[in-house]
């Protein structure tokens, strides 16, 4: 499935919620369901520090695709992390670099990805793109 | 007696609005408080009619600006009960005031091996400037600890203060624990060993009148924007005997007496410490804010804030798994708390959806987070324009949100 299709699906999932509370309850549910990151990856070097909450991001490169694992100590952030993983994990560097997380805007949660929010999410997206850029360079070099 | 809150709230039109579709409940007053019309109007009137750079020209506009600026200095002097207006220096805020003392006092009086004392409950603004100075001078920073209840262990002061101690800096009121520290007692103990004391009054000035002569503090710092005044303006009070001996902090216009390339001599206090064009519009707004707060029946307002604190403490404690950090007998209207199993960021985000503004995070007080072994806290802080109904709304909101987790 392409990144854009996954994003569309998420937007559709959220379009059913009329109340803000349902929307956040769903994010909390997604956060609770997200498999915890392997403790050995929950280390300082994988930590994206926000003033408000912390995000840990680990990646592996396998058969041309980047597999991301991530977690946050705040549940709403973890729910959003789950959505970002759904979108970006298991894709090629080129696909990741070509796609923006525009679903956030469409589901009315843009404030969580704004530079003024120090929850680590925006930094997580940037970090995923940086990994994609690095792996893109490696794979073009190898070809 | 309960103040007529609808009357007070008319002075704060900003409170009458909806946030995320809900009536705004503003509980982040310890970060910054809202400005009354009286401050906004004084600043507007000034901006519309009067503007000239102070102390520098013969024309009427400059003279009227200077007069307004200096009369604000007099309002601050009176508010602090400082002996003379020259001991009142306008700064950008508490942070600059403390940096000024850390730098200039450090240059004059601190050398290798000397000691500086702060407390474990300080805001970063009353830690980092001292650390920077200690690094520069090869001095040592020592710390007064606090108890889990949120009170300073002042019984340790006698052993903490040594012959090497050159200055002690402590908060009048903690920005996280809300504790009103026994600063008069601390100052008396320090003075017995000839150690001067700086009081960080950022969280005290909004709540009660300060008397620097009764306290006998050597320096007192506070900010305008937490005291219902504008941002970007603050105050440093210092005893003349110290200020006269301290070198300037910033160099530039206004702070000089005579400049030649061979040697520059400096102006008298307070101008020696007010380089460049000061934020006189802010100073005028601060004067209006002090007049507003302290011309009102201040005792009644303080009592009201105290009632709000008591009510909130009782209500929040009824919530299962909620822990309050800091329960000293003498507190201002500040409550830091966590609810077991709920991250403060999540609580803050959801409360915002309900129109309730609280602060979450590390609250510029990493050592306090470390003391309790937590990463973050939620802080609700009250002002006299808050109401008992708003406290009840917070309680109901927390109960509702808790069920979501």
Please name the residues in contact with B75: beta carbons below 8 A apart, sequence gap of 6 or more: B286, B287, B290, B291
Q: Specify the CATH number for B41-294; select among 3.40.109.40, 3.40.640.10, 3.30.360.10, 3.40.630.30.
A: 3.40.640.10
ipTM for this prediction = 0.87
| Per-residue pLDDT tens over the stretch A52-81 | 788 999 999 999 999 999 999 999 999 999
**pLDDT of B4 above 80:** no
| CA end-to-end span of chain B | 40
What's the average model confidence in pLDDT over B100-118? Answer: 98
Least confident of A9-18, B25-34, B272-281: A9-18
**pLDDT of B367 above 80:** yes
More confident residue, A140 or B377: B377
Q: Cβ contacts (< 8 Å) between A51 and chain B: which residues?
A: 361-362
Confidence of residue B215 (pLDDT cuts 50, 70, 90): very high
**pLDDT of B267 above 80:** yes
Phi and psi at B94, nearest 5°, equal -55, -45
**pLDDT of B362 above 60:** yes
Least confident of A35-49, B134-148, B228-242: A35-49
Could you give the CA distance from residue A113 to residue A117 in angstroms, rounded to a whole number? Answer: 7
Q: Cβ contacts (< 8 Å) between A53 and chain B: which residues?
A: 343, 345, 376
Least confident of A6-15, A110-119, B10-19: A110-119
Contact indicator for B308, B27 with CB cutoff of 8 Å: no
Q: Cβ contacts (< 8 Å) between A74 and chain B: which residues?
A: 343-346
What's the average model confidence in pLDDT over B216-235? Answer: 98
Confidence of residue B376 (pLDDT cuts 50, 70, 90): very high
State how far the alpha carbon of B142 is from the alpha carbons of B360, B364, B392, in Å. Answer: 28, 19, 42
Q: Cβ contacts (< 8 Å) between B345 and chain A: which residues?
A: 52-53, 74, 76-77, 119
Could you give the CA distance from residue B21 to residue B356 in angstroms, rounded to a whole number? Answer: 11
Nearest CB to B345: which of A25, A28, A52?
Answer: A52
Helices (H), chain A: 3-15, 20-33, 75-88, 93-98, 103-106, 121-142
**pLDDT of A51 above 70:** no
What's the average model confidence in pLDDT over B350-363? Answer: 95
Element (H, E) at B400: helix B388-402
Count of H-run helices and E-run strands, chain B? 14, 17
Could you give the CA distance from residue B32 to residue B39 in angstroms, rounded to a whole number? Answer: 15
Do the Cβ atoms of A75 and B405 come within 8 Å? Answer: yes
Domain regions of chain A by residue span = 3-142
Could you give the CA distance from residue B271 to residue B248 in angstroms, rounded to a whole number? Answer: 10
- Yes or no: domain B5-30+297-402 corresponds to CATH 3.90.1150.10: yes
- Mean of the per-residue pLDDT values for chain B? 95
Per-residue pLDDT at B153: 98
Torsion angle, CA of B103/B238/B110/B162, rounded to 10 degrees? -140
Per-residue pLDDT at B2: 60
Please name the residues in contact with B5: beta carbons below 8 A apart, sequence gap of 6 or more: B304, B385, B387
**pLDDT of B152 above 70:** yes
Report the length, in residues, of chain B: 405
Could you give the CA distance from residue A132 to residue A61 in angstroms, rounded to a whole number? Answer: 10
Taking the CA of residue A93 and the nearest CA in chain B, the distance in Å comes to 31
Do the Cβ atoms of A76 and B349 come within 8 Å? Answer: yes
Query: Hey, is the C-beta of A27 within 8 angstroms of any chain B C-beta?
Result: no
Per-residue pLDDT at B342: 96
| CA end-to-end span of chain A | 25
Return the residue in B22, B124, B346, B403 with the most chain A beta carbons within 10 A, the one to mutate for interface testing.
B346
CATH topology of domain A3-142: Sufe protein. Chain: A (3.90.1010)
Query: Hey, is the C-beta of A55 within 8 angstroms of any chain B C-beta?
Result: no
Q: Which of A51, A62, A63, A143 is catalytic?
A: A51
More confident residue, A93 or A1: A93
Give the 3-state secondary structure of residue A51.
Answer: coil
Per-residue pLDDT at A106: 86
Domain regions of chain B by residue span = 5-30+297-402, 41-294
| Per-residue pLDDT tens over the stretch A108-134 | 887 776 666 666 778 888 899 999 999
| Per-residue pLDDT tens over the stretch B293-335 | 988 777 888 999 999 999 999 999 999 999 999 999 999 999 9
Per-residue pLDDT at B6: 81
Least confident of B26-30, B64-68, B101-105: B64-68
**pLDDT of B1 above 60:** no
Could you give the CA distance from residue B177 to residue B326 in angstroms, rounded to a whole number? Answer: 4
């Amino acid at each position: 499935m392409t990144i854009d299709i996954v994003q569309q699906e998420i937007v559709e999932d959220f379009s059913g919620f009329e109340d803000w509370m349902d929307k956040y309850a769903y994010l909390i549910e997604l956060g609770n369901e997200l498999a915890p990151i392997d403790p050995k990856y929950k280390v300082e070097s994988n930590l994206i520090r926000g003033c408000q909450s912390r995000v840990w991001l680990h990646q592996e490169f396998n058969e041309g695709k980047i597999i991301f694992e991530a977690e946050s100590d705040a549940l709403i952030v973890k729910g959003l992390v789950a959505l970002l993983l759904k979108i970006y994990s298991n894709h090629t560097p080129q696909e990741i670099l070509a796609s923006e997380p525009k679903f956030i805007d469409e589901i009315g949660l843009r404030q969580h990805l704004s530079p003024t929010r120090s929850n680590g999410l925006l930094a997580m997206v940037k970090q995923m793109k940086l990994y994609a850029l690095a792996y893109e360079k490696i794979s073009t070099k190898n070809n | 007696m309960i103040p007529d809150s609808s009357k007070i709230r008319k002075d704060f039109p900003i409170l009458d609005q909806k946030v995320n579709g809900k009536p705004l409940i503003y509980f982040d007053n310890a970060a910054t408080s809202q400005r009354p019309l009286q401050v906004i109007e004084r600043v507007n009137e000034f901006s519309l009619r009067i503007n000239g750079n102070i102390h520098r020209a013969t024309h009427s506009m400059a003279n009227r600006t200077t007069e307004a600026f200096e009369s604000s200095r007099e309002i601050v002097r009176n508010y602090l009960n400082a002996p003379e207006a020259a001991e009142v220096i306008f700064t950008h805020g508490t942070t600059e005031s403390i940096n000024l003392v850390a730098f200039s006092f450090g240059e004059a009086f601190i050398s290798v091996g000397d000691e500086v004392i702060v407390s474990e409950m300080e805001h970063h603004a009353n830690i980092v400037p001292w650390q920077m100075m200690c690094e520069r001078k090869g001095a040592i920073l020592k710390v007064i600890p606090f108890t889990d209840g949120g009170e300073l262990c002042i019984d340790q002061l006698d052993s903490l203060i040594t012959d090497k101690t050159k200055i002690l800096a402590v908060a009048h009121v903690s920005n996280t624990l809300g504790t009103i520290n026994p600063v008069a007692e601390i100052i008396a103990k320090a003075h017995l060993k000839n150690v001067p004391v700086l009081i960080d009054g950022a969280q005290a000035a909004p709540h009660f009148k300060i008397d620097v002569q009764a306290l006998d503090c050597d320096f007192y710092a506070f900010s305008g924007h937490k005291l219902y005044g504008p941002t970007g303006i603050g105050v440093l009070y210092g005893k003349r005997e110290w200020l006269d001996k301290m070198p300037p902090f910033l160099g530039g216009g206004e702070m000089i007496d005579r400049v030649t390339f061979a040697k520059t001599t400096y102006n008298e206090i307070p101008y020696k410490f007010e380089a460049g064009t000061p934020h006189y519009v802010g100073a005028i707004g601060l004067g209006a804010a002090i007049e507003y707060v302290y011309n009102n029946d201040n005792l009644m307002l303080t009592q009201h804030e105290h009632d709000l604190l008591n009510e909130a403490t009782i209500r929040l404690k009824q919530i299962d798994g909620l822990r309050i950090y800091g329960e000293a007998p003498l507190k201002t209207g500040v409550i830091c708390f966590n609810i077991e199993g709920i991250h403060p960021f999540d609580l803050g985000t959801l409360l915002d959806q309900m129109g309730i503004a609280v602060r979450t995070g590390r609250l510029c007080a990493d050592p306090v987070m470390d003391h309790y072994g937590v990463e973050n806290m939620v802080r609700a802080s009250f002002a006299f324009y808050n109401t008992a109904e708003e406290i009840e709304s917070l309680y109901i909101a927390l109960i509702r949100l808790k069920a979501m987790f």
